[in-house]
Structure 1
């Protein structure tokens, strides 16, 4: 009875707070299995070639200095191509760290896709897929219609650099490439996400 109760509580606890998982538990089969099948399908995500270009209609950097520079890390793009140095990103940008095995991540991902559409040209929305298998991440992108660029962080280096342990994690980056706010409160909906973008990046998201 105790074992059954413990098994039932695990997904509930993951949904209530942030999600953590070990690398050993989240690896997908190699190229001969499901991971190879994912690699043979077109990626649902955009490529990362434009991440070093500021949004065409980006507003001025919001008042109030401070913030830290993005970590000096380089991550691979889910679609391939040249690796991306985080300090080369041009904001304003909203960086969402997610994983397919995290229920709050799946809950909030569609809101980030809508943000990328509503604020196109004014800010960038970027995903960082964390400790995940390629097949699982690609399936989420296909099922939820996620189109923004996604970087891959199997070693959790981005989270560690920000001194955070759980996902989802959302990082708000201004036009100078400085981190203005890090949110780890759980799944964000459209209204909360729009408020955080307005407050920390000075961008008003159309309804």
Structure 2
């Protein structure tokens, strides 16, 4: 009996390896298929457009981290400190249920506050295919940056997603929210409180 068990062990390992290989193989194909579809997100070209407001040295809040991220749609990388505010950054991942729950509220905020406030996504530690699918499914259209190494969270000393960063016209961080999924009313309240802008909920 012991001899039979030892003989069957290599066969069991072979079957296990084959199943693992078989289940992992389709992943790149899915990524390739996604790459051929147009991105649902806006490009990032306009994020640094506009006159820079003078920075008041006495203003409260730290500047955005000195980081440069790639844009989901390609093009030139974006230096966070060059982004013209006021802005709300939504740091999210497709595998995070509260992130998926709040994404539609951020899309509505971007529509309601267009021309007065930028809404910018930062997709964190995610696959391109999963992020694009969520964007398509939830109708997310605002510009999307990519941060696979969680550099933004580390720079802000926050180990959480979703994470929402409120940035004023001078590029200073006024508030970082990690309380969980935000809805329309709470987003409007936070924008009013920290950026002084009124947005209908």
Q: TM-score, normalised by structure 1?
A: 0.80
Residues 1:76 and 1:31: Cα distance change in structure 2 (over 3 Å) = farther
Give secondary structure in 2 for the equivalent of 1:76: strand
Of 33, 36, 49, which residue of structure 1 is paired with 2:32? 36
Give secondary structure in 2 for the equivalent of 1:50: helix
In the other structure, the counterpart of 2:46 is: 50
Highest RCO, 1 vs 2 (Cα 8 Å, sep ≥ 6): 1
Q: Does 1:139 align with 2:114?
A: no
In the other structure, the counterpart of 2:20 is: none
Distance 1:199 1:29 in 2: 49
Q: Larger radius of gyration, structure 1 or 2?
A: 2
In the other structure, the counterpart of 1:194 is: 188
More helix by share: 2
In the other structure, the counterpart of 2:11 is: none
Runs (4+) of structure 1 exceeding 6 A deviation are 28-31
In the other structure, the counterpart of 1:113 is: 107
Segments of structure 1 that go 5 or more residues without pairing to the other structure are: 1-27
Residues 1:149 and 1:29: Cα distance change in structure 2 (over 3 Å) = farther
TM-fit CA distance, 1:37:
1.2
Aligned residues: 175
TM-fit CA distance, 1:137:
0.2
TM-fit CA distance, 1:84:
0.3
CA-atom RMSD in angstroms: 2.2
Q: Does 1:82 align with 2:60?
A: no
| Contact 1:97 1:127 (8 Å CA) reproduced | yes
TM-fit CA distance, 1:39:
1.0
In the other structure, the counterpart of 2:179 is: 185
Distance 1:44 1:129 in 2: 13
Deviations 1:106-137 (A, max 9, x none): 00000000000000000000000000000100
TM-fit CA distance, 1:68:
0.2
| Contact 1:97 1:130 (8 Å CA) reproduced | yes
